[in-house]
Amino acid sequence: MPHPYVALGDSYAAGVGGGARRSECWRAMDGYPVLVARALGLDLAYEACLGATIRDVERKQLSALTPATSHVSLTIGGNDVGFTPVLIECAKPSWMGDSDAAIDAALATLRTELPSRLAGVLGRITQGAPTAELVLTAYPVLFNGDDCNALTFFSPHEMRRLEAGVDELAGVIGAAARDADAQFVDPRAAFDGHAICDAQEWLNGASWPLEVSFHPNGMGHAAYARLVLDAFGRGDSELGRERDIAIAERPSARGEAPTFGLPDLLSAESLDGARRHGLDPDHVERLVREERHDELHALDRQVRARLGQRD
């Protein structure tokens, strides 16, 4: 049975971080598409899925569209440029490697491949739901210059590069939306002051389960919902109302992109890297086993200073 609102996209659109996992795709009931559907009073085809790339959307999600579809939202692009592998590299201490290569590769894909991929999927959405209102969203900046998590080692340099990458990604997504005559939702301003480690976080830092790391929490998904409702031309006065709507979820395998993992500080990569950078690997191992996180972060700063990486 067709549903008037179809929610497409990746983990941000599947409610990851904002509620309990309900399937392999996650599809939390506090994800922004459910909040939007209830506010609009529209039955929802919840197609978005953890790990989805544009190729996953095209292969697994677009068949929910029909000529009767009136509203479509899409959050996509982060996995196409390798956002999670970048986060995995940046989370490592400086003696384990250099994240600049991973960031450079992501930016190359963003600049050379993502625009055409976005144009392709937006064209197919328009074909499948020719009269629908279409909203395309970008992503918020994760950090405001501080990583307060004990088990990750994002440096000021890395956080600045991540912010610049999110800004550039928003520019590409916004341009694609304009070219497709779609509404564009840019959450960066709304999330300002609510980054990871801010007083009121709308984003999860390194968290358990690890899949929810670096995703909006419940307040973040509510913020997304307000922005999407505004883009659909509706205020958020009805947000949170428990309207009786139907939610369709087709069985679907998760997308092809990886999920976040913490650095293994006891691995050969870590201990060999410590030795190469003039650290005592036995000392590093002892600090890890004794969970002396402050001292591990002090070693990270020491190595970054040797490498000339200033805060």
Catalytic residue annotation: 11, 215
CA-CA distances (angstroms) from residue 292 to 106, 151, 156, 286?
Answer: 33, 10, 21, 9
Q: Could you give the CA distance from residue 203 to residue 216 in angstroms, rounded to a whole number?
A: 4
Q: State the DSSP H helix or E strand holding residue 72, giving kind and residue range, or none if neither.
A: strand 71-75
Burial class (CB in 10 A: 0-12, 13-18, 19+), 298: exposed
Identify how many contiguous H helices and E strands the chain contains and give both numbers.
11, 6
Residue whose C-alpha is closest to residue 157's, from 311, 303, 297, 304: 311
Provide the β-strand partners of residue 185. Answer: 137
DSSP string, 180-235: TT-EEE--HHHHTT-SBTSSS-SB--S-SSGGGTTSB-HHHHHHHHHHHHHHTT--
Q: Could you give the CA distance from residue 45 to residue 99 in angstroms, rounded to a whole number?
A: 38
Residue whose C-alpha is closest to residue 224's, from 189, 199, 193: 189
Q: State the DSSP H helix or E strand holding residue 178, giving kind and residue range, or none if neither.
A: helix 156-179
Is 8 strand, coil or helix? strand
8 Å CB contact between 233 and 47: no
Sheet with strand 133-137: strands edge to edge? 183-185, 133-137, 71-75, 5-9, 44-46, 247-248
